Amino acid sequence: MKRAMITGVTGQDGSYLAEHLLAEGYEVWGFVHGQANPRVGRVRQLLPDIRLVYGDLTDAKSLLTAVDHVQPHEVYNLAAVSFIPVSWQHAESSAEVTGLGVLRLLEAVRSFNGITGSGAVTSGQTRLFQASSSEIFGNAAEPSQSESTAFQPISPYGSAKLYGHLLVQHYRESLGMYAVSGILFNHESPRRDQRYVSRKVSLGVAKIKLGLEKKLRLGSLVTRRDWGFAGDYVQAFSLMLSQEEPTDFVIGTGVSHSVEDLVESAFSQVDLDWRDHVTCDSSLLRSIDISVLTADPRKARRSLGWQPTVNFHELVAMMVDSDLRSQSAESDADQF
C-alpha cells in the first residue's frame, strides 16, 4: 500500500486530494499544525480513514520527525499563507511558511531518502509535489501563461511561492530529487474559504435569495481569472507524481472569466438580476493587482492526459447550490 503525506490537509485542496488518494487505495497521512487546530475535527468527520501527524512548516525538526514516522512514498505540500491580503499584512510569516517551509520540507525528504547530490533521480525515492501558483507570473505580457512564461510576482505571497517553485527546480536538477511543481491557476469548490471572491459571491447570493441579506459588496468586477474545480485539479497532482521523469506543469482550464461573469452566473442560478443586489466598494480594491490570468494547459493535457471535467458555470452552480443548502439548514435551526 502506498503512503502519502499531505500538508495543508485541512484546506480545500488537501481534503479533495485525501479523498482521491484514499479512493485509489493509499494510506493517507495529514500533516497538521497543532492538536488544538479547530479544522482537525472537520477533517476527521469528512475523512474518517485519514491518519494525522503533527508538526509545523516553520519547524524543521518536526518535519524531519513526521517524514521519518510516516515514511511516505509521496509528499504533497499544499500548505501556505494563501490569502493575498494576509500576505501583505504578515509578510514575514508568509515568507516563513509559504517560502521557507518548502525548503524545510525538501530537506526533510532529502534526509529521509539519503540523497547526497548525485544529480540523477533514483528509483524508489519519495516523490514530492509542490503547489505552486499562477501568482508567480504577475501581470504577464502573454495572453496565456505556460511553463515558459517569465516570472514577475507582485505580492509577498507570489514572491514566496516563486521562491518555493525555484527551490523545487534546484533540488530536482542539482540533487536528483523527484520534486515537481504544479503551477495552479484559481480553483474553487464549496469547500473554499469564505474570504475568497468565488465563495464570497456564492455565499452572498445564497443569503440574498433566502432573504438573509440584501446587498453584496465587491471590489473590481473587471478582474479576470481562470477558474476551475478543485476536485479536478487534485487529480493532476497525483498524475504528476506518476510520471517517469519529474517535470513542472501548468494546471488550469485555459479559459478566463471576469468577476462580473462570476456574479452574473451566480445570481442567474437563483433567478435574480445581479444589478439589483451588487454594489462596488472602492475600499475593497487592491492598490496593486493582477488584471488577467489565463492558463495555457496544453502540456498537462498532452503529457498527463488531464483536462477539467467541470466547466465554469457548472462550478458556480455547484457552489451556489451548496451554500443555499447550508444557509437554509442554518436558518431552519435558528427557528428552534
Query: Catalytic pick from 135, 159, 238, 265?
Result: 135
Q: Does position 9 have pLDDT exceeding 60, yes or no?
A: yes
Write down the catalytic residue from 133, 134, 189, 256: 133
- Band (pLDDT 50/70/90 cuts) for residue 331 is low
pLDDT tens per residue across span 33-87: 876 677 888 888 889 999 999 999 999 999 999 999 999 999 999 999 877 888 8
pTM of the predicted model over 0.85: yes
Tens of pLDDT, residue by residue over 263-309, are 999 999 999 999 999 999 888 877 788 999 999 999 999 999 999 99
The pLDDT value given to residue 151: 97
Q: What is the mean pLDDT of residues 23-32?
A: 97
Q: Is the pLDDT of residue 15 over 80?
A: yes
- Rounded to whole angstroms, the Cα distance separating 141 from 152 reads 10
> What mean pLDDT is reported for the chain?
94
| 3 φ/ψ angles, rounded to the nearest 5 degrees | -115, 135
Task: Collapse the DSSP code of 89 into the 3-class scheme (helix H, G, I; strand E, B; otherwise coil) and give the result.
Answer: helix
Q: Where in the chain is the domain with CATH 3.90.25.10?
A: 193-225+255-294+310-334
Instruction: Summarize the confidence of residues 138-157 as an average pLDDT.
Output: 96
The pLDDT tens digits for 82-120 are 778 888 888 998 999 999 999 999 999 999 999 987 667
pLDDT at 121 over 80: no
Rounded to whole angstroms, the Cα distance separating 83 from 88 reads 9
Task: Using pLDDT thresholds of 50, 70 and 90, give the confidence band for residue 170.
Answer: very high
Report the DSSP pairing between strands 257-258 and 224-225. antiparallel
What's residue 335's pLDDT? 54
Residue range 3-187+227-251, CATH number: 3.40.50.720
Query: Do the Cβ atoms of 7 and 74 come closer than 8 Å?
Result: no
Beta bridge mates, 6: 30, 76
Q: Tell me, yes or no, if 76 is annotated catalytic.
A: no
User: Radius of gyration over alpha carbons of the chain, in Å?
Assistant: 20
> What's the confidence (pLDDT) of residue 39?
80
Residue 133 among the catalytic residues: yes
- Please compute the mean of the pLDDT values over residues 169-179 and round it to a whole number: 96
The Cα-based distances of 78 to 75, 202, 263 in angstroms read 10, 24, 28
Q: What is the pLDDT of residue 282?
A: 83
Q: Which single residue is written with the C-alpha cell 495552479?
A: 184
Active site residue 135: yes
Domain with CATH 3.40.50.720 in the chain: 3-187+227-251
In the set 26, 76, 157, 178, the catalytic residue is 157
Class of domain 193-225+255-294+310-334: alpha beta
Q: What is the band of 235 on the pLDDT scale with cuts at 50, 70, 90?
A: very high
Are 202 and 266 in contact by the 8 Å Cβ rule? The answer is yes
For the residues 139-154, what does the mean pLDDT come to? 96
What phi and psi values does residue 77 have, to the nearest 5 degrees?
A: -100, 100
